[in-house]
Amino acid sequence: MWLAQDDPRKNTAVLASKRGNLKLHKSVRTLPKKGIILEPLCGKVFGPEDHELLLNQRGSLVGLDCSWAHIEASVEAVMKQTRLQARTLPLLLAANPVNWGKPSRLTTAEALATVLSLIGEDDQARDVLGAFRWGERFFELNREPLEAYAGAKNSQELVDLQFEFFDVHLDDEGEPA
């Protein structure tokens, strides 16, 4: 779901869609009816329990593409209008030039590639990031956590694995601070 809040010449969703690696939706009405929407504020991590929806139930994977500066208002506006299941990602390091090395400050393309990697669609994940000179670096930076997350038996195990790779501090609600 593209909200057009960033420069389209630098936007990873726009660039990946031009390559044919993803479909860009400019309206909530055109979004698929069944699937997962990635949004970083929901608090429920995309885990093994969610794989079935994407792999066997023909659910769609949707990334919410908006500016980090407007994330709260954007999430609220979109989530009021969709029945897609909201999920966030486990901690990973951004490889994009704007947020290089920052935990969880991924671009939409990095986020979509993460889920594709976690469900075993590694070639498709690499295709999504193939348009970017830093794309392969994302997989290099996150190789160990991605492998561990992909092998998790459930969401709780996946969440716990984050502590092995990152110095995670939790806020009062149990979310990364």
* Structural domain count of the chain: 1
pTM of the model: 0.79
Domain presence at residue 73:
yes
- Residue by residue, pLDDT tens for the chain (177 residues) are 454 456 556 666 556 565 666 666 666 777 778 888 888 788 889 999 999 888 888 888 877 776 767 667 766 777 777 778 888 899 999 898 887 888 878 888 899 999 999 999 999 899 988 888 899 999 999 999 999 999 999 999 999 998 888 875 555 554 555
What is the pLDDT at residue 130?
Answer: 87
Domain presence at residue 4:
no
In 53-68, which positions are buried (b, 16+ CB within 10 angstroms) versus exposed (e)?
bbeeeebbbbbbbbee
Closest CA to 81 of 33, 142, 17, 136: 33
Domain presence at residue 176:
no
Domain presence at residue 2:
no
Domain presence at residue 133:
yes
Domain span at residue 59? 12-165
